[in-house]
Amino acid sequence: MAALFATTSSAQVSAPTRCGVGIPAGERTGYVPLPRGDVFCPLIADPKASRTFASMLRHESGDNLSDVELDIASVGIGDAFGLGRWNGGHSGDGVQLSLTAGVFAQFDLGTSSYDFLNADYVVGLPLTMRRGWFSTRIRVYHQSSHLGDEYLLREPPDRQDRENLSFEALEWLLSADGGPLRVYGGGELLFRREPEDLGRYVAHGGVELRPLARIIPLGSLGGFRFVAAADVKSSEEQDWDPAISARAGLEYDRAPGADATARRWGIFAEFYTGPSPYGQFFREKVRLMGVGIHFGGF
């Protein structure tokens, strides 16, 4: 592990990690303040990953997943800010501390004013580490959720007896990637929970495919790359009923030789089934299908 915590030197790290959000080429080993990128690749299909996106989705819920059907817009504004990184002596190796934050909101497109339904606020402090093909993330984060005022006004009184959802959680994920394939898994422990009977434990895992070659070369402008991912969460609160999120589509990559930590964007087909990922509706079962555009690291 000596190389992982190497002291600051003039040696340089040669390349980023596989997902392109690791250490910039030419960055020195040792401590780097306010670094760009991360040594742990963001999760493509996690509905609560810190990124900015806008999705148009068909929302189905109810006992038969057909009792309530809505067209909704799901939007998120999120990002990660590196506080400090300790680079190792090998490409992409290191330990990093960051601050992440995101707001995730949903709007009913079937109403004249696009009624605001729900918003989840997430703030986290992740500690990430990479050594070769292995990486891990340990994160403490807070989530609070709030119903939209327009939703409260239109619903009958019995639906307005809302449950305040707020908690802190300790998350630990392990990830292994080689070539185009990545697998990850871990879990969460919830504490300081509201409501108090909210289940404590969450299991979390997934798989991602990101081929190394672009499929539509565009010369000096770079090109598109096909990516696909599936993410599964299973919680004690929902009697371990799995929530499955899948995304597949085209990622617009940077041009060869460009800054390895430059932003990227993608267009994905999206599918979700299981307990709702939207905080105030966490006791409902939903199915979501649609398309979204995503910006940032993924």
- Residue 36 · residue 21 · CB < 8 Å: no
Structure confidence at residue 88 (pLDDT): 85
What is the DSSP annotation of 97-118?
A: EEEEEEEEEEEETTSTT--EEE
Angle at alpha carbon of residue 195, lines to 125 and 126, rounded to 5° = 10
In the chain, % of residues over pLDDT 90: 55
Given a cut of 90, whether residue 105 has pLDDT beyond it is yes
Instruction: Please state the rounded mean pLDDT for residues 250-267.
Output: 69
For the chain, give every domain's residue range: 30-295
For residue 214, what pLDDT band results from cuts at 50, 70 and 90? low
Residue pLDDT, tens place only, 13-23: 444 455 645 56
Q: How far apart are CA 49 and CA 226, in angstroms?
A: 19
Q: How far apart are CA 165 and CA 52, in angstroms?
A: 23
* CATH 2.40.230.10, applies to 30-295: yes
Instruction: Please state the rounded mean pLDDT for residues 151-167.
Output: 68
Q: Whole-model pTM?
A: 0.87
Instruction: Please state the rounded mean pLDDT for residues 223-238.
Output: 92
